[in-house]
Amino acid sequence: MKNIDENLIGKLSGLVKLNLNDQEIKKLSVDLTDILSSFSKLNSIKLDDFNEFDDSLKENNQTREDQFESSWDKENILKNAPNHNGDELFIEHVLGEE
């Protein structure tokens, strides 16, 4: 069982865009190691006969025809946005200054 060390926590936190403090990194390293080690019992079951993507309901995708209808008005959509002018959403630059 792999030890989920603090370096790995740092890498994972980058993937999920979480800026963890030192205390959180330490705690999560211990917690995830404990949690995943208790799940190692999954290695003991024979799983060859089972397809991970099997769906016992055997349903196909439920599609429908495109329907043209009015959407919500912009004001309603943007009312929860932190930075907007009623018509546009503002965000900081994504790429670097250069």
- Binding region for other proteins (CB under 8 A): 4, 8-9, 12-13, 15-20, 24, 27-28, 31-32, 34-36, 38-39, 41-43, 45, 47, 50-54, 56-57, 61-62, 64, 72, 76-77, 79-83, 89, 91-94, 96
Q: Identity (one letter) of the amino acid at 14? A: G
What is the smallest separation between the CB atom of 26 and other proteins, expressed in angstroms? Answer: 12
The DSSP line for 28-84 is HHHHHHHHHHHTGGGGGS--TT--TT--TT-PPP------------HHHHHTT-SSB
What is the smallest separation between the CB atom of 12 and other proteins, expressed in angstroms? Answer: 5
